[in-house]
Amino acid sequence: MASPILPGLGLGSGLDTTAIVKALVDAEKTPKQSQLDRRTSANTASISAIGNLKNALSTYSAALKKLNDTTNPAFLGSTAVSSNDKYVKATAGASAVNGSYSIQVSQLATASRVASQRFTDANSVVSAGGGTLTITQNGTNIDVAIPANATLQQTRDAINAHAGSKGFTANVVNDGTGSRLVISSDTMGEGSDISVSGVLTIDPAAEMTAGGGAGRVGELAKDAVFEIDGMQLTSKSNKVDNAVSGMTFELLAKTETLSPVSVSVSANTEGLKKSVQSFVDAYNALVLAVNTVSVSTKDAQGNWKSPALAGDPAIRGMLAAMRNELVVPNSGGSGQLSVLSQLGINTVQGSGMLEFNSTTFTKAINEQRLGGEVQNLFNGENGLLNRMTKAMEPFSTTGGVLDERSKTLEVAKKGLGVEQSALDARIKDLESSLTKKYNNMDTLVGQLNAQRDSVMSFFDAMNAQRKNS
């Protein structure tokens, strides 16, 4: 009895042609696919590493920007505290010295405000023929073109459009019996009163009247009048930054019925320590991110493991640029504070990270009195934060080193995809060709076997006849 044909075996040859074709196809595909898989894996890892590095650099840049914000400086050497900041606020600058000040405010600085004569409403025509409205302040004229038949409201809009950027604001105010054009100035201080001529006339020497006459609203503009430690001073503004070296006082209300406001200035030790620690943390986070994607390490078995960007020259260049700025001596200030190590900030050998010794820092601030120099070291025009930001720009900006690297890797990724598609197509054609060839072989072998069986049957029949004869 003939043996049954097993599944997958050729009907004619009895060979497993499917397995043969698969083995031949795998022999052709495997080495090329393995190579392509390795390149694809390396490309994917590099894209991910560059992405992580760009995110880390963005976070670092944001931290530097926050620490270097001039509106809220983080490295002020001194801190000022007001006993009543509803009346006087105080800020200590880099050159402030420790001490205390007694401040009494008898008059706040005011700005000029004038009003036109009364009109029926906002749609009343100011000048049928139009013309020029001239605003004069401190001897300077600002001319505003007023079109013919312009209403009070249109006149307001013209003033705001032309003079708004110069510190003037116009509004239409209804006083209960009609509407007036009211013009205000941002400029404070005695002698800064506004006068208006041309299509409207307003003399600040006259006060606006209930009967509808034009003039100033309230009193003439005034200087601030105040005392610091018993010395009477005046200021054109309520923000006083030239009375005491390194100090800015913001006068908010009169103190006539109060005891003088006390402002104390002391070393900003804890605030500085927090800011320095924030810088160290931000720097170390970036270095850790760089090391993770570029520094080879040993596993538990002692085998070296190389990350995606190991030995990458661009990454080495970025680290070198950062580290160079850490050792550049400070050229500003008094010269007492020139390097980070004076504040207890040192580089850890091996990892390249920074360590912060708070004991050394506190001693430098309290005993060596370097607090006033810290701001210049970090926030100065050529301070560390500005230098570090500039050093990172070639790597962090759009179109920079990392951005271009990302684009190159994405192009390579597309190329690998094309190679994979080409390999898949070639392997598919090879498999189809081999399958066809082995099917043809199997058919031919089947035909030969059939002929053999036919010949053998013929001879068997002849032998049978001879035996029966």
pLDDT in tens, the chain (469 residues): 343 443 454 555 667 888 888 899 889 889 999 999 999 999 999 999 999 999 999 999 999 999 988 777 788 888 999 999 999 999 988 778 889 999 999 999 999 999 999 999 999 999 999 999 999 999 999 999 999 999 999 999 999 999 999 999 999 999 889 999 999 999 999 999 999 999 999 999 999 998 999 999 999 999 999 999 999 999 999 999 989 988 999 999 999 878 899 999 988 888 899 999 999 999 999 999 999 888 888 778 878 888 888 888 888 889 899 999 998 887 765 667 889 999 999 999 888 999 999 999 998 888 777 777 888 889 888 889 999 999 999 998 888 888 898 899 999 999 999 999 999 999 999 888 988 888 888 788 878 877 887 888 877 778 887 777 6
Instruction: Answer yes or no: do 309 and 352 share one domain.
Output: yes
CA pair distance 9, 53, nearest whole angstrom: 56
Residue type, 449: N
Q: Of the candidates 381, 402, 423, which is a domain's last residue?
A: 402
pLDDT at 256: 80
pTM of the predicted protein model: 0.68
What pLDDT score was predicted for residue 262?
A: 96
Q: What is the structure's pLDDT at 280?
A: 95
Helix, strand, coil percentages in the chain from 3-state DSSP, rounded to 5: 45, 20, 35
Task: Please tell me whether residues 397 and 334 are part of one structural domain.
Answer: yes
Question: What pLDDT, on a 0 to 100 scale, did the predictor assign at position 304?
Answer: 84
450 lies in some domain: no
Question: 417 lies in a domain?
Answer: no
CA-closest candidate to residue 214, choices 269, 152, 278, 260: 152
Amino acid residing at 18: T
C-beta of residue 370 within 8 angstroms of C-beta of residue 363: no
333 & 363 share domain: yes
pLDDT tens profile 381-429: 888 999 999 999 999 888 888 889 889 999 999 999 999 999 999 999 9
Chain centroid offset of residue 190 CA = 43
pLDDT of amino acid 5:
40
Give the pLDDT of residue 6.
Answer: 38
Domain-located, residue 134: yes
Q: Are residues 276 and 398 in the same domain?
A: yes
Report the domain count for the chain.
Answer: 3
Is 133 found in the same domain as 260? no
325 within a domain of the structure (yes/no) = yes
- Give 127-134 contacts, CB < 8 A, sequence gap 24+: 127/199, 127/200, 130/199, 131/198, 131/199, 132/198, 132/199, 133/158, 133/159, 133/196, 133/197, 133/198, 133/199, 133/200, 134/196, 134/197, 134/198
Query: Are residues 185 and 119 part of one domain?
Result: yes
The answer to whether 202 touches 114, Cβ cutoff 8 Å, is yes
Residues 281 and 386 in one domain: yes
* Nearest-angstrom CA–CA distance, 140 and 332: 39
Strands (E), 370-465: none
* pLDDT of res. 95: 79
Domain-embedded: residue 252: yes
Domain identity same for 295 and 190: no
Token pair belonging to 377: 């070291």
Verify that 161 and 87 share a domain, yes or no. Answer: no
pLDDT on residue 175: 86
**Of 53, 76, 51, nearest in space to 371 by CA:** 76
4 occurs within a structural domain? no
Are the C-beta atoms of 77 and 272 separated by less than 8 Å?
yes
**Do 261 and 290 belong to one domain?**
no
pLDDT score of 2: 42
- For residue 363, is it within any domain? yes
Answer yes or no: is 32 within a domain. no
For residues 287 and 162, state if they share a domain.
no
Q: How far apart are CA 452 and CA 460, in angstroms?
A: 12
pLDDT of residue 333: 59
Shared-domain flag, residues 333 and 357: yes
| pLDDT score for 302 | 79
What range does the domain containing 125 cover?
111-216
Q: What is the CATH number of the domain that holds 174?
A: 3.30.70
